[in-house]
Structure 1
């Protein structure tokens, strides 16, 4: 019988969620994952991921089976070109979190955010968790609101603010998800809890 603590639901099996899923599967974890593309369902299934077609926010009942795991990774991009992102993105994250909370199975949430929540601190040599949040873009503001939704949901949560995802042209540069420190950060966050009694 598989250890029920070694189960992970990934909302957003994209450029980061998919490599993480592969890592966790290799470690013997049960992984569920969502995608917005019907064409990708077969790919996820072939990898050993239990696939779900889901779009957030959704007007339909999304059910709870996707969220029936001990750990939940939320890796949904806000969509920088979406003019309504400040409204739709926090709503999407709220729907995900509320569903997980209602089911009551999730022990920890890991939410992938971005350093865009800090804005441009030109007067600082570096930023850390104590740096004032001053998001300037609509996507940055939406992420900041979503972070608050996750932080207040009542489930222990870790918020990871990724940086350097794209170059000036908006294209990801020199990034190998399978070997990224970000993957290790999330794995450590999950493993340290899964080994607790």
Structure 2
């Protein structure tokens, strides 16, 4: 039995907590507000209120020590979209605090839920080695957001503990259905892969990482896919919606290669992105 702390019990963190509890792990979660903490408690979770950035790492380190936490999992979002002038360093600073507190509190492992937005937009199959902070610095193929994500990942890699960085593709499920996003897109490309991941597999990959992966970076993305134009059209039709796709273009983009996670032993519940619909 492993004691796990999930920082950020939201759309992904709460079902992850439920799954880990069902697998006989001891699970604690955190939420940033009193109301969301109360909601987690009402769902049967052992929840603590924690707002990042922390005034100091002591409160989190104490929680980790008192709860005898072995693995700290961060399901926190960068929050860059919430500001017209993003603080690109804030995400890395939050992860620095998490790592320092985990180490001070006696945890043995940190798992970071990152994003495939860490990659550049080059039209190629992206494997884990195609993005790191050294590659991104001064390279205009990487966006400010990519560099911010990679900076945060580097904090985890350099933390001196066992770690896993999981780069997730676009997360969807039956409620967060892809058809919801179709009208918000300016265009869709028939020459760009739809890189998507169902929440069931996001939870599954993280649970697999808790038990089986050490000091590594992995992509988490549905193994087989189609182009974005086909995917979003299929999403609209699956819900029988009266929506027209935005402009269809031929702009190429990256495809996320998740073969490493499969080679390590994870079996995806969904093998093709069209199965997600």
Q: TM-score range by the shorter chain?
A: 0.7 to 0.9
Taking the aligned partners of 2:13 and 2:110, their CA distance within structure 1 comes to 14
- Please tell me whether the aligned partners of residues 32 and 49 of structure 1 are also in contact (alpha carbons under 8 angstroms): yes
SS at match of 1:142: helix
Contact persistence 2:33–2:51 (CA under 8 A)? no
Tell me the equivalent position of 2:5. 9
Please report how far the alpha carbon of residue 44 of structure 1 lies from its aligned counterpart in structure 2 after TM superposition. 1.5
How far apart in 2 are the matches of 1:96 and 1:184?
23
1:22 equivalent in alignment to 2:18: yes
Aligned-residue RMSD, C-alpha = 2.3
1:47-80, CA deviations, whole angstroms, 9 ceiling, x for partnerless residues? 3322111111122553424324111101110012
For residues 138-189 of structure 1, what are the alpha-carbon distances to aligned partners after superposition, in whole Å with 9 as ceiling and x for unaligned? 332221101000000011101000112375738xxx9752xx2221111111
- With normalisation by structure 1, the TM-score equals 0.81
Shift in alpha-carbon separation, 1:65–1:46, aligned structure 2, 3 A: farther
Shift of 1:84: 3.5
Q: Distance in 1 between matches of 2:6 and 2:38?
A: 16
Structure 1 residue 138 and structure 2 residue 144: aligned?
Answer: yes
RCO higher in structure (CA 8 A, sep ≥6): 1
Residue pairs, 1:76-155, within 5 angstroms: 76-81=76-81, 82=83, 83-104=85-106, 106-122=107-123, 124=124, 126-133=125-132, 134=136, 136-155=142-161
Provide the aligned length of Structure 1 versus Structure 2.
Answer: 181
Equivalent residue of 2:128, what SS?
coil
Is the CA contact (8 Å cut-off) linking 1:17 and 1:75 kept in structure 2? yes
Q: Runs of 5+ in structure 1 lacking a partner?
A: none
Residue 45 of structure 1 contacts residue 51 of structure 1 at CA under 8 Å; is this kept in 2? Answer: yes
For residue 184 of structure 1, what is the aligned residue in structure 2? 204
Q: What CA distance in whole angstroms lies between the structure 2 residues aligned with 1:45 and 1:30?
A: 15
What CA distance in whole angstroms lies between the structure 1 residues aligned with 2:93 and 2:86? 11
Asked whether the 8 Å contact 1:25–1:48 carries over to 2, the reply is no
Q: Does 1:160 align with 2:166?
A: yes
Partner of 2:54: helix, strand, or coil?
A: coil
Partner in structure 2 of residue 71 of structure 1: 71
Structure 2 unpaired stretches of 5+: 173-180, 186-195, 214-277
- CA-to-aligned-CA distance 1:111-139 (integer Å, 9 cap, x gap): 011111112012x1x11112244474433
- The answer as to 2:54 corresponding to 1:48 is no
